[in-house]
Chains A and B, each alone.
Chain A
Amino acid sequence: MIKISNLTRRFGRRIVVDNLTLHINPGEIFGLLGPNGAGKTTTVRMLTTLLRPMSGSAEIAGFDIVKEPEAVKRCIGYSPQEINLDRELTGYQNLFLHSLLYRMKKSPVRCRECLILAGIDNQGNDMVKTYSGGMQRSLQITRSVMHDPSILFLDEPTAGLDPKIRRTIWELIRSLNNKQIGVLLTTHYIEEAELLCSRVGIMNKGRLIACDTPSELKKSVGAIVVESNYNGCFDYKHFQDRNAAHEYAKEQERSIVRIRESTLEDVFIHFTGERFCI
């Protein structure tokens, strides 16, 4: 569905996306995980044709993002990190304009369906600026799939939302994926990537440093972690089974020791030697 080959983008002398090669399968939820400045948003902006790559290539549903941008746009949906709804228009008007941009038939009916899906059917005629952050996010994601795209790009879909609304958005993403819409989402929330994504790519400083299912990534570094804290200095030791971890923990007499299961953050630390700083 998405084939990315050696995609590169610089801003001035700074390389933001560096030789990214990645294949994303149809219908899967793929997560691009990484700290701020890792190159996730730039990657998505290139794939959605909003930014030109400097070298390399990418195909979405068989269409080249540089040579066939209009064909690419027809088969994708995009919900950016910032809310990009027209705040001075109503929720219904935002959806109606979207339906016209995509030349959709029966647009009033589809607009009403989308308002119900976003959970704001009673506020559809209110200005978007009067909506809460969660309502705006739901509307934005719903609008991005209104024209039935085959792949949906979600850039930080839950950034800045409270835990309750975050879970509502996760349910929305799952329900969209159940309708065979492939999803590429970027996030810096470890929990979000683990819960939603069938595969995860970890990016750091523009490079893809690891890519697999969350469980395989954790297994690759060791499923169990012994976290030792000696005078404020943390050390992480990975083990494949809990017994070995316990044996090791007993030997750490002078440290405060915690044994736990690995997370994707541990995978990130393992590959980069750095903590995951948001």
Chain B
Amino acid sequence: MNAYPVFLREMMIFINKIKRPGYILAALLTPLFYLIAFGLGLGRSVSIDGSSYMLFLVPGICAISAMTNAFTGIATSLAVGRLHFKSIEEILVSPVSYWSIAIGEIAGGTARGLFSSVFIIVIAFFLGAHLPANPLFYFAWFLTTVLFAGLGVFAGFKAKAHEDTSVYSNFIIMPMSFFCGTFFSVDKLPQFIGAFLQLFPLTHSVACMRAGYNNQVISIGHFGALAGFTLLCIWLANLSIRQSLK
């Protein structure tokens, strides 16, 4: 296993990007708007199960920020590196195993996802929310970024044109942001819709992170599903790398 140079390359590129003015702001803008509009605006007049809407919302926003940045960051980097700059060939032609490439790229996406979403927790803290204390929250957060970084690697290696990654963003990532329990409880929906939403990994991410954030018991079912989806996406990432060489 020699995933370190693959990860280091992604980090070097990422560090160069965050030096540009506006890069971090652009990554934070959408979740920040949600936090202010829904958390501060709507949240003042809404409470869920007796506690403030802000405390309900923060783990959800953190999850979508982790998802979006982990997925988009690595999918775009790989698609551009493969199709435009061809720099991924340098890795593919080196004696590094496909698993090492998959793990290194996923680690790169995970770091991007964690970096962006940590700002949400910090900003939410200054807006009146508490800092999460339960280690299971952090573990669920980590699994969420790994999961979507894996999906990002899959999308990046499957893309036949730069625009292809936006298809995943528009048809999978964005709908999940709205429907997987970020802004409302999935349990309050009609049963068949709630059951359907269990097919999406973000539903389980949000459920686990919310329970962890509010020091509630994390459902084994949600945690198992989150872990299962994570393993599936890691496997898909490895598969897409193998298939790109056929």
> Chain A interface (Cβ within 8 Å of chain B)?
48-52, 70-71, 73-74, 76, 78, 80, 82-89, 93, 97-98, 100-103
**CA–CA, A85 to B81, complex, Å?**
10
- Contact status of A89 and B12, CB under 8 A, knowing A82-B86, A101-B5: yes
Stretch from B33-41, B93-101, B120-128, B215-223 that touches the partner? B93-101
Residue B85 lies at the interface, judged by CB distance under 8 Å to chain A: yes
Q: Which secondary structure dominates chain A's binding surface?
A: loop
- Determine the distance from Cα of A98 to Cα of B93 in the docked complex, in whole angstroms: 11
Is there a chain A Cβ closer than 8 Å to B24's Cβ? no
Which of B8, B81, B245 contacts A50, CB < 8 Å? B245
**Of the candidates A50, A71, A83, A86, which one forms a contact with B13 in the assembled complex, judged by CB atoms under 8 Å apart?**
A86
A47 to B245, CA, bound (A): 12
Contact between chains at A48 and B13 (CB < 8 Å): no
List 13 A-B pairs, Cβ < 8 Å.
Answer: A51-B246, A73-B95, A82-B86, A84-B85, A86-B9, A89-B13, A97-B9, A97-B90, A100-B4, A100-B5, A101-B5, A101-B96, A102-B94
Contact B86 A86 (CB under 8 A): no
Q: A102, B85: Cβ atoms under 8 Å?
A: no
In the bound complex, do residue A84 and residue B87 qualify as a contact, i.e. CB atoms below 8 Å apart?
Answer: yes
Say yes or no: A49 contacts B245, CB within 8 Å. Answer: yes
Interface residues of B (CB under 8 A from A): 2, 4-6, 8-9, 12-13, 16-17, 81, 85-87, 89-97, 245-246
On whether the beta carbons of B93 and A49 are closer than 8 Å, the reply is: yes
Residues of B within 8 A of A80 (CB): 86, 89
Contact B89 A50 (CB under 8 A): yes
User: Who on chain B is nearest to A90 by CB?
Assistant: B12
CA distance A93 to B11 in the complex (A): 12
Q: Within the complex, what minimum Cβ distance (angstroms) separates B9 from chain A?
A: 5
Complex Cα spacing A89 to B5, Å? 14
Chain A nearest CB: distance from B57 CB in Å?
36
When C-beta atoms are compared, the residue in chain B nearest to A72 turns out to be B95
A88 CB contacts on chain B under 8 angstroms: 13, 16-17
A86 in complex: contacting residue of B17, B87, B96, B246, CB < 8 Å = B87
Q: Which of A51, A85, A102 contacts B95 (CB 8 A)?
A: A102
* CA gap between A117 and B211 in the complex, in Å: 58
Q: Within the complex, what minimum Cβ distance (angstroms) separates A6 from chain B?
A: 19
What is the CA–CA distance of A52 and B92 in the complex, to the nearest angstrom?
13
Instruction: Find chain B residues with CB under 8 A from A86 CB.
Output: 9, 12-13, 81, 85, 87, 90
Given A86-B13, A88-B13, A100-B8, A70 contacting B86 (CB threshold 8 A)? no
Using A86-B85, A87-B85, A88-B13 as known contacts, say yes or no to A101 and B245 having CB atoms under 8 A apart.
no
Residue on B with the closest CB to A140? B90
Contacts of A87 in B (CB 8 A): 85, 87
Please state if A98 and B90 are interface contacts (CB–CB under 8 Å). Answer: yes
- The answer to whether A93 and B12 touch (CB under 8 A), given A50-B93, A78-B93, is yes
Q: Considering only CB atoms, which chain A residue lies closest to B89 in the complex?
A: A84
**Given that A49-B93, A73-B93, A73-B94 are known contacts, is A84 also in contact with B4, CB under 8 Å in the complex?**
no
- Which of B16, B96, B245 has a CB less than 8 Å from the CB of A89? B16
